[in-house]
Structure 1
Amino acid sequence: MIDNEMSIEELEQDFWGEPSFSSYVVTTCHKARQKPIKDLSYEEIRCLIGQKIGLRFVLSVAIDILQANPLIDVIYYEGDLLLAVLRLDLDDWKYNQDELKTFISILQENRSKIENFEEVSNELVNKYLQIRL
């Protein structure tokens, strides 16, 4: 079980220091890696997933959020967190197989709602729904 009191940096024992590039994504991800997992905002989780940073630790949090509201509007539009997770490669789930099973269940249970949503590609959804675990 992951200690949500610890940061990604502490859990990975990999300390990045200050960002060398001043963009929203870079600074957000750098700051988020230093915060305890339990204190991450939904936007920080979405951003980390989009950059494939700390997936081992943040996917479980993202799945909990999506279970409560699969089409949650984190910052840009409804379904932006779902889309970030859908864009992951199957290899990105290697440490999170239980979360992958739960994610597939979320997609199955909410398929009609998700498929009618124009921001979310049916192709991405179908990629996950074809997985047999």
Structure 2
Amino acid sequence: MEHLLHLDRTLDELDPPRWTLPDSGVTRLMERVHALRRVPLRELGPGDLRMLVTQQVALPYVVPLAVRLLLEEPLLDASFYEGDLLLETVRLPDAVWAVLPDLGVRLSAVVAALPEAAVAELPSGAAEQFGRFVAGFGARR
């Protein structure tokens, strides 16, 4: 995964411009996202990655980290339920995968291999999301 460079650096360093401190009165979510931009990449946990993916923050740096985890454990429970990081990652816009096509192909193979029983236990619509994601990479293999 050649995209996993500079793990000792932060998103603020890698994804300019640096974000200023959030204004008072912002939501806890936005406070947390701002704080995560100042954490070295190697210290970001699954829940942190899920939050950054969901908020679509610095995706060229965050998606490779998320995919690395998902290739090892696709149904990882990052924050709320088994498979939450995977589901948020496959929901990303096609433009993200256009920049990271090799990761998309690798992740689509993992998604395609998921047991039906495991997918059935995920939130409603997950199977359809996975199907769309895998279909989007069918021609790229």
Deviations 1:91-120 (A, max 9, x none): 122321111111101101215254322316
Question: Percent identity at matched positions?
Answer: 23
1:42-73 CA-to-partner distances (Å, cap 9, x unmatched) read: 11110000011011001111111111211111
Quick check: 8-17 or 107-116, which moved more?
107-116
Structure 1 counterpart of 2:134, from 113, 129, 133: 129
The 8 Å contact of residues 107 and 114 in structure 1, kept in 2 or not, is answered as: no
Moved more, 58-67 or 85-94: 85-94
- Within the candidate set 21, 40, 43, 1:18 is matched to 21
Match of 1:56 among 40, 60, 63: 60
The answer to whether the Cα contact below 8 Å between 1:8 and 1:57 also exists between their aligned partners in 2 is yes
CA–CA distance in structure 1, aligned partners of residues 122 and 43 of structure 2:
31
Q: Aligned partners of 2:91, 2:28: CA distance in 1, in Å?
A: 20
Q: Which moved more, 1:89-98 or 1:50-59?
A: 89-98
SS at match of 1:130: helix
Contact 2:82/2:122 (<8 A) preserved: no
TM-score (norm 1): 0.90
AA matched with 2:81: Y
Q: Provide structure 1 residue ranges, at least 5 long, that are not aligned to the other structure.
A: none
Amino acid at match of 1:12: D
Shift of the alpha carbon at 1:13? 2.4
Give the distance between the partners of 1:29 and 1:94, measured in 2 at CA. Answer: 25
How many residue pairs match? The answer is: 133
Alignment root-mean-square deviation, CA: 1.6
